[in-house]
Chains A and B, each alone.
Chain A
Amino acid sequence: MEEHNHGHDAHTQVGDSHEMTSYEKRAGAILSLLTEKGVVASDEIWRAIDDMDSRTPALGAKVVARAWVDPEFKAQLLTDTKAALTELDVDIGSLNTVVALENTDKVHNVVVCTLCSCYPRTILGVPPDWYKSLSYRSRVVVDPRGVLREFGLELDPDVEVRVYDSTADIRYLVIPSRPAGTEAATEDELAGLVSRDSMIGVAMASAPGK
């Protein structure tokens, strides 16, 4: 069963072509009631949406690029992730503890939350749909190499695959390996090679020029 099937059968045609699901209607009803009663202010909701929109994988990419060029920063990132992020002026919010995991040619880390969809949102933005899908949550713990293959990543049998199931208060950020041929790249150019998926562990950082 995939994630975006509509629940219930209460579909109503609204306006031009927009079909509202029963969930969308209930969300609208709840929000308007809460605003009328003064439980939430419309402003507060918009600010929260702005905050959500402002957090993108570019934040994480900046962190990874710095780790690639600055060994001391990387060492700190791996031992005290929060302090390293603070040094880079990356605000992780008050919610979670973040731990960075380094991918090397010997070890490949990949992250999931099988129980819900925990994700380091403050530094990667909202998770992709597939990360929240029941299929990914079910399968990556039991068949990580098969799942990675679906993402186009074939790992050597000698590489140790470590699946992190983030079940608690810790959020994990994967530091992908620095691609070969990037010795002359600037930090900004390097950040451009760091995809969201590479920081979840289902992809490598891109090769330069691709």
Chain B
Amino acid sequence: MDRRVHDRGGWPEAGPINRGQHDLALWEKQTDALHRVLSGPGKHKWRVDELRRAIESIGRDEYESAGYYGRWITAIETLLVERGILSREEIDRRVEDTDEQVK
């Protein structure tokens, strides 16, 4: 039976616990806020269970390297695209436009 990537309890090869702490960056707080606003009262675009399902569908390598809010924003993107609120292409385009501006 293949264990799912998020199902970590008792997972072998887990190393020491890094107790270093970083202050959340603005984009991490914005990502957190995006989910709470979009799933919250008045919007109800999705429930936290759907966010979890989208997080769990991330491939193993990316799941392990993305970090907590990297997984969140990836899942939020999945749900937005699923619902037709945004398209993958327009997000790509916006990222490219921003890259152009900072060059």
Contact = CB atoms under 8 A, between A and B. Distances in A.
Q: Verify whether A and B have any Cβ pair under 8 Å.
A: yes
Interface of A: 1-7, 12, 14-15, 21-34, 37, 39-40, 44-46, 48-49, 52-53, 95, 112, 114-117, 126, 128-130, 132-139, 141-142, 147, 150-151, 165
8 contacts: A34-B86, A40-B34, A49-B32, A52-B32, A53-B29, A129-B22, A130-B21, A139-B17
Contacts of B65: 1, 5-7
Given A12-B99, A45-B37, A136-B17, A29 B91 contact: yes
Contact of B9 (A126, A135, A138): A138
Contact of A28 (B14, B16, B27): B27
Nearest to A12: B99
Interface residues of B, number: 55
A135 B73 contact: no
Contacts of A22: 95
A6 B65 CA distance: 6
Contacts of B27: 23-24, 27-28
B33 A45 contact: yes
A34 B27 CA distance: 15
A115 B18 CA distance: 19
B66 A7 contact: yes
Contacts of A14: 102
A22 B77 CA distance: 13
Interface string B32-66: 11101110100100001000100100000010111
A30 B80 contact: yes
A133 B33 contact: no
B62 A23 contact: no
Q: 4 closest A-B pairs (Cβ-Cβ)? A: A114-B9, A138-B14, A48-B33, A29-B94
Interface in B52-96: 52, 55, 62, 64-70, 73-74, 76-77, 80, 85-86, 90-91, 94-95
B70 A21 contact: yes
B85 A116 contact: no
B85 A39 contact: yes
Contacts of A3: 18, 67-68
Contacts of B73: 23, 26-27, 30
B67 A139 contact: no
Contacts of B76: 30
